[in-house]
Amino acid sequence: MNRNDFRTEIGYADHDPATSFLSYFRVCLSSINARYASLNQRISKNNRIFDAVGVKNALDAYHWPADFVMPDGERIKIINWNETEGALSKLRIGLQSALADSKPTTPWTDAILKWGMGNRGTAAAKILQNPANSNRYLKAGQVYANLNGRLEDICANKFPKINSGISKIHSLSSSSGLIIYDSRVAFAIGECVGNWSILTKQEKIPSFLMFMQAGRRSPIGGSQLKMPRGYERGLKQPRESRNHLWLQTQLRASWLFEAALELEPTVFPGEKMVQRLHKLEAAFFMLGAYAETLQLPELQEGPKSAVFGITYADDKRP
């Protein structure tokens, strides 16, 4: 399966949400909403209420506290999206440059894991602990986990071990717009799929909408587990697989975001597709974090727009 095959499956040219998941997903971009009061002490009390309707609001409310050191010794202390976007740009440029010049990537991958996982990145670091193997592995990711690539090329012998930490590294090593696919992004996408499947009376989730999940989510600071939407009806997504199948799902999620953004030019406008993809990823990261309050739209008449011109995230072909 490649990008165009996937677009056919999700209904790229079909503007009826009752038959096209992509049309429903486009409605979700402006209608999905969540609300939560954060207890994070680094956020001012006036800004602790997360209240978002649509992905633009979700990005405005983005917060992910991180405190780490860049390979050049610069201390980075960030929390909002503007700060995070700047730090990720430095990490992306540094990692991609190291790979291009065949230099050690460990200082960059360690910094990425510290940003994204704090002190919980040990398992991911072990996957990349051999510098020579690490460079070969990440270069393979640049070639095969590319938005212009094919799912079948992401196979077990090339990518034997994957986890959410490696998902971040594959994304930042990519110039094609590969999004980060962690448990929060996965859950928010899965909720859109689950709700559409309920509304359209699917007996099971279609195979092309199987987006691997990292288990059940619980509210931040709480213990009540949130079951995925439609779970009790038998609408079940596959559980996390710490192998190449997670990277395949990461590529399909990137294709989904790219297709939606092409048809919704007013969502994060005025930037290249790669930047828009990462903004949408960050918005879904926030929405997936607050699973217990996530609300999704009902079916409604689909967008009447014509198909916009193709603006692939990376116009280079492999």
Residues 123-154: tens digit of each pLDDT: 777 777 776 788 999 999 999 999 999 999 99
Dihedral-angle region of residue 118 (phi above 0 means left; psi in -120 to 50 means alpha; beta otherwise): left
CB burial readout 77-116, b (16+ within 10 A) else e: ebbbbebbbebbebbbebbbebbeeeeebbbbbbbbbbbb
Are 249 and 212 within 8 A, CB to CB?
Answer: yes
> What is the pLDDT, as a whole number, of residue 163?
78
Taking a C-beta distance cutoff of 8 angstroms, is the pair 100, 184 a contact? no
Give just the sign of the alpha carbon dihedral 115, 121, 126, 127. negative
Q: Kindly state the average pLDDT of the residues 57-85.
A: 93
Confidence band for 305, pLDDT divided at 50, 70 and 90: very low
Distance CA 14, CA 139 (A): 36
Task: Report the pLDDT averaged over residues 81-107.
Answer: 96
pLDDT value at residue 106: 92
* Model pLDDT, residue 44: 62
At residue 316 the predicted structure's pLDDT band, cuts being 50, 70 and 90, is very low
* Integer Cα distance of 288 and 64 in angstroms: 13
**Which residues, including other chains, have CB under 8 Å from residue 116's CB and lie 6 or more apart?**
66, 165, 168, 180, 182
Residue 228 banded pLDDT, cuts 50, 70, 90:
confident
| Residue 279 main-chain phi, psi, to 5 deg | -70, -40
Please, which pLDDT band fits residue 47 given cuts at 50, 70 and 90? low
């009752």: which residue's tokens?
Answer: 18
Q: Is the pLDDT of residue 50 over 80?
A: no
Q: How many Å is the Cα radius of gyration of the chain?
A: 19
In the chain, the N- to C-terminal Cα span, in Å, equals 15
Q: For residues 104-132, give the mean pLDDT.
A: 84
What residues have CB less than 8 Å from 152, skipping those under 6 apart? 1
Strand 66-69 to 49-53 pairing: unpaired
Q: Report in angstroms the alpha-carbon separations of 89 from 38, 76, 82.
A: 27, 13, 11
0.85 surpassed by pTM: yes
The C-alpha angle 242, 293, 211, rounded to 5 degrees, equals 30
pLDDT confidence of residue 282: 96
Query: In which residue are the tokens 């072909």 written?
Result: 317
| pLDDT at residue 20 in the model | 96
The mean per-residue pLDDT over the stretch 58-85 comes to: 93
Percent of the chain with pLDDT over 70: 85
User: What band does 213 get if pLDDT is binned at 50, 70 and 90?
Assistant: confident
CA distances (Å), origin 190, targets 98, 133, 140, 182: 35, 33, 28, 12
171: left (phi > 0), else alpha (psi -120 to 50), else beta? alpha
Phi and psi for 157 in degrees, rounded to 5? -75, -25
Distance (Å) of CA 144 to CA 112, 138, 226: 21, 10, 34
